[in-house]
Amino acid sequence: MRLTGERLRLSRGRGLRLGRIAFYGALIAAGLAVVWMRGTGQVQPLFLPTPTPTRSALSHAQEGLAHFSTGNLAQAVKSYQQAVALAPDDVQAWFELARIQTYSSASVTTDFQRGERLTEARASADRAVAADPDSSRAHAVRALAYDWSASIQDDSEAGRRQREEFLTQAEAEAIRAQQLDPGEPLALAFYAEILADQQRYAQAADVAQQAVARDPTLMDVHRVYGTVLESNGFYRGAIEEYLEAAAITPNLTFLYLQIGVNYRRLRDVDEALFYFDKAAQINEQLDIEDPIPYMGIGRTYLQEGEFIVAARNVERALLINPSDPFIYGFLGVVYFKGRNYESAIPVLKCAVDGCTAQETGDLLCNVIELYFCEEGTEEDHGRQVVAYPLKSDSVEFYYTYGSVLTAYAGQAAYPTACQDAERVFDQLMAVYGDDPVVSEIVAEGRSICGSPGPPLLTATPSPGPSPSATP
Q: Identify the CATH number of the domain in which residue 94 sits.
A: 1.25.40.10
Q: Does the pLDDT of residue 453 top 80, yes or no?
A: no
Count structural domains, the chain: 2
Look at residue 25 in the predicted model and tell me its pLDDT: 59
Look at residue 460 in the predicted model and tell me its pLDDT: 45
Cα 449 to the chain's mean position, in Å? 40
pLDDT band, very low/low/confident/very high, at 339 (cuts 50, 70, 90)? very high
Give the tens place of pLDDT for each residue, 202-227. 999 999 999 999 999 999 999 999 99
Q: Does some domain include residue 134?
A: yes
The answer to whether 235 and 468 have CB atoms below 8 angstroms apart is: no
Give the tens place of pLDDT for each residue, 145-160. 999 999 988 777 888 8
Phi first, then psi: give them for residue 355, nearest 5 degrees.
-145, 155
More confident residue, 10 or 238: 238
Residues 6 or more apart whose CB falls under 8 angstroms from that of 363 comprise 346, 347, 350, 355, 382
Per DSSP (E only), the strands in 62-178 are none
Look at residue 455 in the predicted model and tell me its pLDDT: 52
Q: Does some domain include residue 268?
A: no
What Cα–Cα distance (Å) separates residue 172 from each residue in 72, 142, 168, 179, 337? 31, 10, 6, 11, 45
Q: Does some domain include residue 234?
A: no
The answer to whether 61 and 243 have CB atoms below 8 angstroms apart is: no
Look at residue 418 in the predicted model and tell me its pLDDT: 93
Domain end: 182, 212, 230, which one?
182
pLDDT band, very low/low/confident/very high, at 14 (cuts 50, 70, 90)? very low
Q: Does some domain include residue 364?
A: no
Which of 119-123, 310-314, 453-457 has the lowest average pLDDT? Answer: 453-457
Give the tens place of pLDDT for each residue, 233-251. 999 999 999 999 999 999 9
Cα separation, 272 vs 360, in Å, equals 31
pLDDT band, very low/low/confident/very high, at 13 (cuts 50, 70, 90)? very low
Residues 6 or more apart whose CB falls under 8 angstroms from that of 314 comprise 294, 295, 298, 327, 330, 331, 334
pLDDT band, very low/low/confident/very high, at 413 (cuts 50, 70, 90)? confident
Look at residue 364 in the predicted model and tell me its pLDDT: 87
pLDDT band, very low/low/confident/very high, at 54 (cuts 50, 70, 90)? low
Cα separation, 442 vs 463, in Å, equals 11
Query: How many C-beta atoms lie closer than 10 Å to residue 234's C-beta?
Result: 16
pLDDT band, very low/low/confident/very high, at 365 (cuts 50, 70, 90)? confident
Domain end: 182, 204, 229, which one?
182
Residues 6 or more apart whose CB falls under 8 angstroms from that of 445 comprise 402, 403, 405, 406, 421, 425, 461
Q: What is the pTM of this model?
A: 0.82
Give the tens place of pLDDT for each residue, 175-207. 999 999 999 999 999 999 999 999 999 999 999
In DSSP notation, 234-251 reads -HHHHHHHHHHHHHHSTT
Angle between helix axes 201-214 and 185-197 (nearest 10 degrees) is: 160
**Structural domain boundaries enclosing 453:** 395-459
Cα separation, 13 vs 18, in Å, equals 9
Q: Does some domain include residue 285?
A: no
The answer to whether 135 and 91 have CB atoms below 8 angstroms apart is: yes
Angle between helix axes 325-337 and 395-406 (nearest 10 degrees) is: 50
Q: Does some domain include residue 401?
A: yes
Look at residue 380 in the predicted model and tell me its pLDDT: 76
The answer to whether 123 and 160 have CB atoms below 8 angstroms apart is: no
Give the tens place of pLDDT for each residue, 261-293. 999 999 999 999 999 999 999 999 999 999 999
In DSSP notation, 448-463 reads HHHSSSPPPGGGSPPP
- Listed residue (296, 288, 360) closest to 324, CA to CA: 360
Q: Does some domain include residue 251?
A: no
Look at residue 49 in the predicted model and tell me its pLDDT: 53
Give the tens place of pLDDT for each residue, 369-384. 666 677 766 667 889 9
The answer to whether 61 and 93 have CB atoms below 8 angstroms apart is: yes
More confident residue, 412 or 8: 412
Look at residue 22 in the predicted model and tell me its pLDDT: 56
Q: Does the pLDDT of residue 463 top 60, yes or no?
A: no
Q: Does some domain include residue 52?
A: no
**Angle ∠(226,162,178) on CA atoms, nearest 5:** 50
Long-range contacts of the stretch 434-437 (C-beta < 8 A, 24+)? 435/395, 437/399, 437/464
Domain end: 161, 182, 203, which one?
182
Percentage of the chain lying above the pLDDT 90 cut? 71
Mean pLDDT estimate for the chain? 87
Burial of 5: CB neighbours in 10 Å, binned 0-12, 13-18, 19+: exposed
